[in-house]
Amino acid sequence: MRGISFSVALLAAALLCLFAQAPAAAKDAQRADCVTSLARALPVAEIVSNRHLTLCQKNALNIAQPQTVLRFDFANPGQRSARFLQTRLGHFEKLTIAVVDADGEVAIRNFDEDSVRLTSGRPAFLAELPPASENAQALFVIFDEPRHDATLLQAELLESDPTLSSDHSALMFGFAILVGLMLSPLLFDLAFWTALKQNFLIWHAALSLSFAALVFFRSGLAVEFLDLSIAIWRATLVIVLGVAGLMASLFTQSFVEQDKLHPALRKALPFMGLWCFAASVIHAARFEFLAPLGGTFHTLAMIPVLGLFIMVLVDAWRRGSRAIRFQMAGWIPLIFAFSIQIVSFLTPWGIPTDALPLFYIGVVSETAITAIGVADRFIALRRERDNARLIATEMGTLSVRDPMTGLMNRRGLDNRFEELQAQGFNTFALLDLDEFKKINDRFGHAIGDDVLVATGAALSSEPGRDTVAFRMGGEEFLLLLRGPKGLERIENLRTAISRRVASDVAGLDSVVTASMGVIISPADAYVRMTLDDLYKRADTLLYEAKAAGRNRSVHERLTLFSDRGEGVSAKAEAASARAA
């Protein structure tokens, strides 16, 4: 979490530095005095002498027409000092720039998409104006077959190349740092993924990568490193935007808590993401039947995508989603940026704008704040997973342990018996409290439970790991021992029950005793005896101890087994030994 917070701080610092270094709009920039589209393409000579163009009004733009003319007027002779035309990236067949002086002389320069110069700083291109005399009166910019209205409406004349200033170099350096920092969430996502396999971590990594790529291309930083044409740059920029929309929808679908979003909206998210990507690919493909729409098709296609994201944010917030709070904080600036762009592109009374400062704030806030949200969600899910594992462990422990005494139960014995055999536990004892029913009847079950707890404590009191006690049920216990003096040690544990009960349980008026049946065998022969065989034989010995007067143990030392593991010694010490 600290690493992510540090990355967020770096992103914020980089953004502040970026806008501190960003050059303001050029004071010498001149917008067109006239924009008009022609129903048929005219020669340059006819355009510059056409009185209709001289009187044309702004906003007479129709992207479906084959030719659009922009006119820049110079009020006084010698006023013209502009050297470059700069405008928004967009397709066109041919660009002609003509400068007309007071004597009617015309200087012309022609360009196509491959001969204009792409500029970094924003998605734009630069064309050098033709040389002209000092008494130039007007400049005409003629686009044949333009395909993007923003290219026509954002055109401006500049006195100098904006990419040669020190401010521009600082701006590009700031963008480079910003792109690098925007990639930092990938490291956290991959680190989190190794600990918690959740899809939203993969989609967030892909989203961070696509947003970094979007800034890389939209800022024009790509022009500094790659040899791009207008067609490749614009297509890449549009498709990366579509990929970012797709990744955002998939991330949101998997990130918002399962019960905090309407199922219909959750199902719609990936489809809208696919539509965003498909519309971007269609727009980048330059289909002729869409040419009359220019950039309007893509703008219209993004409206339902933006609308769905707003619906998702509102619905998840109303349902109390914690995750959506981070997304709302991250996405609101970006939603405003896209909304401004859509409105400016669709309304006829303004110049289309990309709202780039707000866009960059949006991608940084989305990357940074959503990264914090991812960390928060990761911590919450990991806590849930750890709690689930703890519960599962506890449930597993309960299944093999007696909750009253803390000793392992019959299931625990079944699970560990062969392992304990292999470890050399060769003394097997079955123990039962004498006349325990009378204790329950006279003193109540609460006192009886206290006696059982004290018995468990006495049987597990021997230090070391050479004694394992089990509660088989009721007042019956089982002991497994290994090591020397097994019979002596196990008898000490049996007699310790009386002392421990007397010490721990108040209110009893008699000593609590236990009877026990014990089997001792050589370790190498013991492994051939099954648990059921040993239990039955020890139970028989326990019955003999009860019949002999209780409060005693009866043991049997085995020295020889039959092939079935059922026989007992016929010689050596004796068939069996009994001790009180």
Structure confidence at residue 575 (pLDDT): 32
Who wins on pLDDT, 279 or 373? 279
424: left (phi over 0), alpha (psi -120 to 50) or beta: left
Who wins on pLDDT, 361 or 170? 170
Q: What is the pLDDT of residues 279-335, one digit of tens each?
A: 999 988 877 776 666 667 888 888 898 889 899 999 999 999 888 888 888 788 888
Average pLDDT, the chain: 81
Q: How many C-beta atoms lie closer than 10 Å to residue 403's C-beta?
A: 8
pLDDT average, residue stretch 512-523: 88
Task: Tell me: pLDDT of 512 over 60.
Answer: yes
φ, ψ for residue 477, nearest 5 deg = -130, 160
Place of tokens 């933006």: 306
Structure confidence at residue 565 (pLDDT): 45
Task: Tell me: pLDDT of 504 over 80.
Answer: yes
Task: Tell me: pLDDT of 166 over 60.
Answer: yes
The percentage of residues in the chain with a pLDDT greater than 90, rounded to a whole number, is: 30
Task: Tell me: pLDDT of 378 over 80.
Answer: no
Task: Tell me: pLDDT of 246 over 70.
Answer: yes
- Cβ–Cβ under 8 Å, residues 367 and 211: yes
Structure confidence at residue 432 (pLDDT): 95
Structure confidence at residue 299 (pLDDT): 80
Which H or E run includes 329?
helix 323-346
The percentage of residues in the chain with a pLDDT greater than 70, rounded to a whole number, is: 81
pTM beyond 0.85: the answer is no
What is the Cα–Cα distance from 1 to 379, expressed in whole angstroms? 9
Structure confidence at residue 31 (pLDDT): 86
The top-scoring range by mean pLDDT among 25-29, 59-63, 166-170, 447-451 is 447-451
pLDDT tier at 16 (50, 70, 90 boundaries)? very low
In the chain the domains, ranked by start, together with CATH numbers, are 31-164 (2.60.40), 184-388 (no CATH), 410-579 (3.30.70.270)
Task: Tell me: pLDDT of 8 over 60.
Answer: no
pLDDT tier at 497 (50, 70, 90 boundaries)? very high
Q: Quick one: tokens of 48?
A: 């510059």
Q: Which of 239-248, 262-271, 553-562 has the lowest mean pLDDT?
A: 553-562
What is the Cα–Cα distance from 177 to 471, expressed in whole angstroms? 67
pLDDT average, residue stretch 176-182: 85
Q: What is the pLDDT of residues 40-93, one digit of tens each?
A: 888 888 888 865 555 565 557 787 889 999 988 887 655 567 889 999 888 899
Who wins on pLDDT, 371 or 451? 451
Who wins on pLDDT, 1 or 390? 390
pLDDT average, residue stretch 543-567: 76
Q: What is the pLDDT of residues 459-471, one digit of tens each?
A: 988 877 889 999 9
Positive or negative: CA dihedral 159, 85, 343, 276: negative
What is the Cα–Cα distance from 177 to 217, expressed in whole angstroms? 14
Structure confidence at residue 91 (pLDDT): 87
Task: Tell me: pLDDT of 478 over 90.
Answer: yes
260: CB partners within 8 A, 6+ apart: 316, 319, 320, 321, 323, 324
Task: Tell me: pLDDT of 569 over 60.
Answer: no
